[in-house]
Amino acid sequence: MLEHDFEGELKIDEGCDRLIGDHMKNNERPNVLLLYPKTGYDFGSTVAPPHSLLTVAAPVLKEGYNVKILDQRVQDITEEDLNSLFSDDLICVGISTMTGTQIRHALRLAQTVRKLTDGKVPIVWGGPHPTIMPDQTLENDNVDIIVIGEGDVTFL
């Protein structure tokens, strides 16, 4: 499946059927979990709020979905943390990454999500790296969907 809108392009790998279903059974755990990985050089003013994920989350929240953002630059994200947020109501996990050392942390998070969810939850990647290297990004087993360019409208 391939979808387009005016804000960006959405490329979907096989298995997108997992996105469809009744995901709003309860609001205790997030329907959408968004992860901002460590960059590897997180100090002082470089640790600005995760603008990318806040922007992606806003329209999803407005539609009534429960969204949670974890920012690994300011908190550890352990397997226990992730497990405590997973449920049948989770539609997908989103990860934002720039090119460079942040990818290593992003991949580790994605691998952990994959393992803990048994591959049942789609992992969506967005940000500068998937935007400039979409095909290479999609080749990785821990990437199901990438969003190219601005993601707020596309992600919803």
Residues lying near ligand B12 in the complex (CB under 6 A)? 39, 41-42, 45-46, 48, 51-52, 55-56, 94-96, 98-99, 124, 126-129, 132, 147, 150-152, 155
CB 97, min distance to ligand B12, A: 7
User: How many Å apart are CA 116 and CA 28, to the nearest integer?
Assistant: 19
Please, where are the H alpha helices in 3-151?
51-62, 79-83, 102-117, 128-132, 134-138
Residue whose CB is nearest to ligand B12 in the complex, by number? 126
CB 98, min distance to ligand B12, A: 3
CB 40, min distance to ligand B12, A: 8
The Cβ of residue 81 has, within 10 Å, a number of other Cβ atoms equal to 12
DSSP state of 101: T
Q: Which is nearer to ligand B12, 24 or 132 (CB)?
A: 132
User: How many Å apart are CA 83 and CA 17, to the nearest integer?
Assistant: 23
CB 147, min distance to ligand B12, A: 4
